A and B are shown apart, each in its own frame.
Chain A
Amino acid sequence: MKKIFLLFLVTFALSSCEKDDICDASTSTTPRLVIEFYDNLIATPTLKNLTNMKAVANGMSDGIVFNNSLAITNPLRFVTNSSKIYLPLDPSTNISTYALTNNFGSSTANEDVVTFNYTKNKVYVSRACGYKYLFNLTNTNTNILLADTNNWIKNILLVKPNLETENEVHIKIYF
């Protein structure tokens, strides 16, 4: 009989082993919008680096973090000098508006507003990750950029409206 109680103990050991799932970082989950920047003055497509570009979504106080390694108080954390950026789309609504400011912090700072409209499709991933959204942009090339008196963005091309992964380019911006 005592040995049966031993088996009981095993039972309780068994029942305590449940939550051990963490969504693996390598899993393909909700993709961000991938934008590449090109030089508007060269006929053949040539990537062009931004200069301290800051991206802030409408209604958010902070910008997108581009330099995760920098301290939270460092303003350079929120600017990029790359030719490629990743912008998350708001999963709670069907519209995300970003203010993209090139040359942020300098006297030549220029803010352009871009608006992305999209539909969402939920796709099951796994127990640990749950569901992801795959967005489908409903914009056209011409209605993304809000025209102002001095746009630094010259042209926008919608390359791939359906966002599936982050290993693809969805939008090309010429400036």
Chain B
Amino acid sequence: MKFTLKYIFSLCFLLCSLLVTSQKTEVKDTTAIKKDSIKPKTERYGLRLGIDLFKVARTFYDKNYKGLELVGDFKFTRKHYLATEIGNENKTVADDQLNFTTKGTYFKVGFDYNSYENWLGMHNMVYVGMRYGVSSFSQTLNSYSIYYANNYFPKPIVTSGEKFDGLSAQWIEVIAGVKAEIFTNLYIGFSIRMNNLISNKAPENFDNLYIPGFNRTYGGNFGAGFNYSISYFVPLYKTVLKTKVKAKK
């Protein structure tokens, strides 16, 4: 499982790099010579706000899941974006031995580095990034069955309802993703994430098998996730680009 995810993750990295090489365009600055007739080039900076479509969709089709994630990024250099996700999840997991519900809120903050050379004024992205994530949540053990390797007696399924409050976790995410403008200022994006727990406050006599924002845990610190976002770019200000001609003088 862990290796499958790692494989998929690296596959996506590879796909992204293909995108870079195939769509790389060079901004031609030959026009800059005729200074007088052409407006100075400007770069727009602003805030891109959106939601994770997958979580919204899943809320409708999966009766064991309710979730919402708001995403935002802010371009602060030509290549770097300050990025954040904030979300809330309510997920019930019905495994063979355990049935539990995790409820909680999470917050992620970090940066994205855009490796895609955009045409002027566009904000398409093929990016890698990192996030620091923190989640505060509770677990409710709905029911459990007693594991008995011996089959002589029927195994009871015990209805519990025991609630574990005040749980938390922190982790680091490494991200690879794309964002593309589909209509003016409207973007869709997809990212996949590899997570690594750095702290995990688990309940006594139970475990954090699901952490909002981090997703399923696998016994160790490893985790994985993805999001599929739709977002709107709100331009805030413009800066005049220094052309290469000017730079030479």
Contact = CB atoms under 8 A, between A and B. Distances in A.
Interface of A: 1, 3-4, 6-8, 10-11, 13-14, 17-21, 23, 25, 29-30, 32, 57, 60, 64-65, 86, 88-92, 122-133
B27 to A, nearest CB: 22
Given A4-B188, A30-B149, 8 more contacts: A3-B18, A13-B8, A20-B1, A30-B147, A122-B158, A123-B205, A128-B96, A130-B147
Contact of B152 (A7, A13, A60, A122): A60
25 contacts: A1-B180, A7-B15, A10-B8, A10-B12, A10-B192, A14-B8, A18-B216, A29-B147, A30-B149, A32-B150, A57-B152, A57-B153, A64-B152, A88-B153, A91-B155, A122-B158, A124-B207, A126-B219, A127-B95, A128-B97, A130-B95, A130-B144, A130-B146, A131-B97, A131-B98
- Which among B97, B150, B205 has the highest number of chain A CB atoms within 10 Å? B150
Contacts of A19: 95
Interface in B148-189: 148-150, 152-156, 158, 178, 180, 188
Given A4-B178, A4-B188, A130 B98 contact: yes
Nearest to A60: B152
A25 B148 CA distance: 10
Interface string B92-130: 000111100000000000000000000000000000000
A32 B54 CA distance: 47
Contacts of B5: 14, 17
Given A30-B149, A128-B97, A4 B180 contact: yes
Given A4-B188, A10-B11, A10-B12, A133 B146 contact: yes
Contacts, number: 113
Given A130-B144, A132-B147, A91 B226 contact: no
B146 A11 contact: no
B86 interface: no
B206 interface: yes
A29 B97 contact: no
B51 interface: no
B: interface residue count bin: 35 or more
A54 B246 CA distance: 98
B209 interface: yes
B136 to A, nearest CB: 21
Nearest to A127: B209
Contact of B148 (A91, A124, A126): A91
Contacts of B149: 25, 29-30
A17 B207 CA distance: 21
A127 B97 contact: yes
Contacts of A123: 205
B224 interface: yes
Contacts of A13: 8
A30 B148 contact: yes
A132 B146 contact: yes
A64 B152 CA distance: 7
Nearest to B126: A3
B15 A6 contact: yes
A131 B192 CA distance: 33
